[in-house]
Structure 1
Amino acid sequence: SGGTGAAVAANFGTLGIGTDTGNSIRGPSSHNALVGFRTSLGLISREGIVPLYLRNDVVGPMCRTVEDATRMLDIMAGKDPKDPITSFSEGKIPDSYMAFLDKNGLQGARIGVFRTLSENNVHPEISALFNKALENMADLGAVIVDSVEVENFQELRQNQWCADFRKDLEAFLAEYVKRDTLSSLEDVVRIGTKSDFAKTRLEMFVTNFGRGQNPEIPCGDAFTDLRRVAFREAIEKTMDSLNLDVLVYPSWNQPAATIVNFQEEYKGDNSQIIAPHTGQPAFTVPMGFVSGNLPAGIQFLGRVFDEKTLVKLTYAYEQGTKHRKAPN
């Protein structure tokens, strides 16, 4: 979704759509001073997308404003028989998410500060922006609960990734490409790529996982996989016990990587850790800029299928701070 993020940020388009397996809506949005909605798994159909790990893949808006992203969400959300996981959203979608665009939405909101993801290996400028964002939210009427800990968090986050790339990719090729010469992961590797990074990644999948799954980690969805359910329940139990509306943390703990040195500088990503596995919604919005005029984002994590609360809070924060700037 990097191309989408750059294009929308540069005003080549008004609206964008990204696919987020672990980061790809929120990362480019954070690095391009955009709003990125990773919605609850099952809220928006993934039918027809090229999968990475379909058990985690989410489609969502990447826009310049929360209002634009919310308009897209109204259109995109809904049940699709071609993507069975959307059945979990039935009865949980309001008539319109636009009704929750409230400039005063932070008044009385309880914001949990998840320092677990904002204290270690954090760039000092990112830390300063994050703490300023908390001050801004308090000034806008929020109650800041600092800080929040989730019991057994480090243990629960382990072994959540699942090696189903081959299965998902080959199912996509069979459904949408329908060519004997392009039906397997090996066929994709054989055809090749001009990107050494992509080539290495594809070859890794072939070498590490052969033709099957990783037998040690069964691949289940976010509503039936007991490991994933336990992770989500621990987070939401903590939120419930403190009467929190959301948890917040920096979308990235380090500045955006430069293109020429991205493999060395690409670090600090917080988006991979919770929402892909738990199925919870996580929205990123701009929280300012660090040296080099590089944007940074703050992430709001909500309860599963509680997008309306995230819309309300992110909109109020955006309207109260106006951090986004068009590129020079």
Structure 2
Amino acid sequence: MNRYRLRWKKGSRYLLASVLISGLWIGQIPQAQAASDPLSATVAKPSLVTGEQFRQSMKQAASEAGGSFTMPEISGNRVLRSQVAVLLQEWLGLEKSAESFRDVPDQAAYAGAVGAVVKAGLMKGYSDTSFLPAEPLTANDLNRLHDRVLGYLKPFVLPEATISEIQRAMEQGKLTSKQLVQMYLDRIAKYDDQGISLQAVLTINPEALRIAEALDQERAAKGPRGPLHGIPILVKDNFDTSDMPTTAGCQCLKDSIPDQDADQIAKLKEAGAIILGKTNLHEFAFGITTSSSLGGQTKNPYALDRYPGGSSGGTGAAIAANLAVAGLGTDTGGSIRIPSSFNSLVGIRPTIGLSSRDGIIPLALTQDVGGPIARTVEDAAILLDATAGYDPDDVATAYSVGRIPESYTRFLDANGLKGARIGVATELFLEGNDQEKAVSNVVTNAVNELSSLGATVVNIKIPHLAEINKYPSLSGYEFKFQLNDYLKELGDDAPYHSLAEIIASGEYDKTQESSMKAREARESLDTQEYKDIVLKRTSLTRESLLKVMADYNLDAIVYPTSTQPPALIGESQSSGNNNRLSPFSGFPAITVPAGFTAEGLPVGIEFLGRAFDEGTLIKYAYSFEQGTRHRHAPKWTP
């Protein structure tokens, strides 16, 4: 691939995430259906709810949410769904709305109330066309309704808010996208620019509030485009953005504004997301401590004297500190997964070819990918939905055609680990020093939790692991040639036209001078050494992983994302070799919070799967996340 900029074409198709809640109703099989069902004799008759029981449940929900309660007393041994709709609509002051159920006559007094509660997400139909207004409310219905009303009444709280929670708040009129953007801008000013000064954000989009206001108007007129409508996203500053500089963290590119967005950025915008700003990174993505000549040293919000990981450490620190809803990073060797692990986040390194690299400043295209960093698996899946797909400007994405599901959110199954066979790569659990032991202890506990959640765990050894780890990353080989191509694509606006010019300018982090000069010294990629790495390393890694998975009938392999926790700033930072398996094979991997060390430092567990099997990994990661709830927000950014 030698084209790095998006060639925009109107009419391009984008994958939008689905946030349909599974199930269409609150309740069990309606009585009218059960009566004619030949199996009804074996089905327990549902417990019905009296009017007073319904009222008391709603009163309790109001009390728990700290709201007022004005519903009148209700008599009767049962309360019908149509009555419930009217009572909720009047109590909550919902605006009456049209509905499309065949069994709700338009002239019925309760029709507008049914439309209102359905629109608010409090009640649903038994099908797309049937509401069954004359059916009585059951005890199971009431339990679900109580939770929904409680969620509706609770005020919106920004920290740790998920995409679905934000969308619900917007639907309920508690929040606008413009207000949400301002909340995040305030947090960036409080925690990133001042106070503890995380130094995670390089650039703020000056048009963010205007874009948010326009999206609010569009929502009011047409409804949301999808789950990312009006959602503020922070992206690593090596993704091209046509409305902000794209710098790779380097002073040399501080004024470089590309003409067009990177493909993944364009897809996010089309989905309705707001690119709130650009985040700091280890300059040119060379390392894992996230320092740059433009942004300085980013701090870890869990331990301000420690590194945030890298090279996508700015995105990691910012999302952990709740400076945006979610973010994008890039990963050549471990640069999504390491900062995700160090910041108690979910990070997805997709299969090479699932998502376009067009418009990303390259480090080594043989290994480069871009992907989501988020606080929850669900949010990461929603971002992956929006950014995956074919791009004619990245030929590798042709392999994804026909291999992308309708939505990765379909894999969000809390019971997803039941029946799974998970291989535990025991050689990747290191205990050579106290820091490695601390990480291994946390991930060993996580493996035990996988078992308790229904998975069968099998200890394995990956064939040829030592030989695989002897191979180097290709960033030391490809960077010069691919960066020069990228700079050429910038055209006349490029501040420099080659790595040699950048080195001569002196406008870069001097701690990287030797690495940059070593890369500049590469004369050609047409060498036997380079070809052997590309061909032999890739085939050996893929075949070794596929063989052990086939031999043990495995669905995925797990191991510590990093063998080390975040190191003290100023000391050396290592992550081990675990992160190499995914880029060397091209296979997908997802890291999810596994817990914390005794010092309170985050640790991640990584799931590795077969090519284009992101859905399976998301299922297992989600099940683990929901069953353990290891993540908590950093205390320094309440």
Q: Given the two structures, how large is their TM-score scaled by the length of structure 2?
A: 0.48
- Partners of 1:214 and 1:253 in 2: CA distance: 35
Structure-2 change in CA distance of 1:213 and 1:98 (3 Å): same
Structure 1: 5+ residue stretches without partners = none
Residue 308 (structure 1) aligned with residue 615 (structure 2): yes
Larger RCO of the pair (alpha carbons < 8 Å, separation 6+): 1
Contact 1:107 1:140 in 2 (8 A): yes
Contact 2:471 2:533 in 1 (8 A): no
Residue 244 of structure 1 deviates from its aligned partner by 0.5
SS of the equivalent of 1:305 reads coil
One-letter code aligned to 2:569? I
Structure-2 change in CA distance of 1:194 and 1:184 (3 Å): closer
Contact 1:249 1:299 in 2 (8 A): yes
SS of the equivalent of 1:274 reads helix
Task: Pick the aligned partner of 1:153 from 458, 465, 470.
Answer: 465
Per the alignment, residue 341 of structure 2 pairs with 30
Contact 1:181 1:187 in 2 (8 A): no
Residue 219 of structure 1 deviates from its aligned partner by 5.0
- Partners of 2:319 and 2:507 in 1: CA distance: 26
Residue 204 of structure 1 deviates from its aligned partner by 2.7
Residue 36 of structure 1 deviates from its aligned partner by 0.4
Residues 55-113 of structure 1, C-alpha deviations (whole Å, 9 max, x = no match)? 10000000000000000011111011100011111111111111000000011111100
Contact 1:166 1:212 in 2 (8 A): no
Task: Pick the aligned partner of 1:167 from 434, 459, 481.
Answer: 481
Superposition map of 1:244-323 within 5 A: 244-261=554-571, 264=572, 266-323=573-630
- Partners of 1:56 and 1:48 in 2: CA distance: 15
Structure-2 change in CA distance of 1:180 and 1:16 (3 Å): closer
Residues 298-317 of structure 1, C-alpha deviations (whole Å, 9 max, x = no match)? 11110111001100000000
Task: Pick the aligned partner of 1:229 from 532, 535, 539.
Answer: 539
Contact 2:563 2:575 in 1 (8 A): yes
Residue 221 of structure 1 deviates from its aligned partner by 10
Residues 201-222 of structure 1, C-alpha deviations (whole Å, 9 max, x = no match)? 2123224x2x323724335998
Contact 1:160 1:228 in 2 (8 A): no
Residues 9-47 of structure 1, C-alpha deviations (whole Å, 9 max, x = no match)? 100011100010001100111101100000100000000
Aligned residues: 320
- Partners of 1:169 and 1:128 in 2: CA distance: 41
- Partners of 2:341 and 2:466 in 1: CA distance: 25
Residues 211-236 of structure 1, C-alpha deviations (whole Å, 9 max, x = no match)? 323724335998xx353123202211
Task: Pick the aligned partner of 2:520 from 175, 197, 206.
Answer: 206
Moved more, 290-299 or 125-134: 290-299
Task: Pick the aligned partner of 1:176 from 474, 487, 490.
Answer: 490
Contact 2:344 2:603 in 1 (8 A): yes
Per the alignment, residue 401 of structure 2 pairs with 90
Contact 2:564 2:575 in 1 (8 A): yes
Structure-2 change in CA distance of 1:226 and 1:249 (3 Å): same
Superposition map of 1:130-145 within 5 A: 130-145=443-458
- Partners of 2:492 and 2:480 in 1: CA distance: 16
SS of the equivalent of 1:61 reads strand
Task: Pick the aligned partner of 2:427 from 102, 106, 116.
Answer: 116
RMSD: 1.9
Structure-2 change in CA distance of 1:173 and 1:310 (3 Å): same
Moved more, 234-243 or 198-207: 198-207
Q: Given the two structures, how large is their TM-score scaled by the length of structure 1?
A: 0.92
One-letter code aligned to 2:422? I
One-letter code aligned to 1:315? Y
- Partners of 1:181 and 1:324 in 2: CA distance: 42
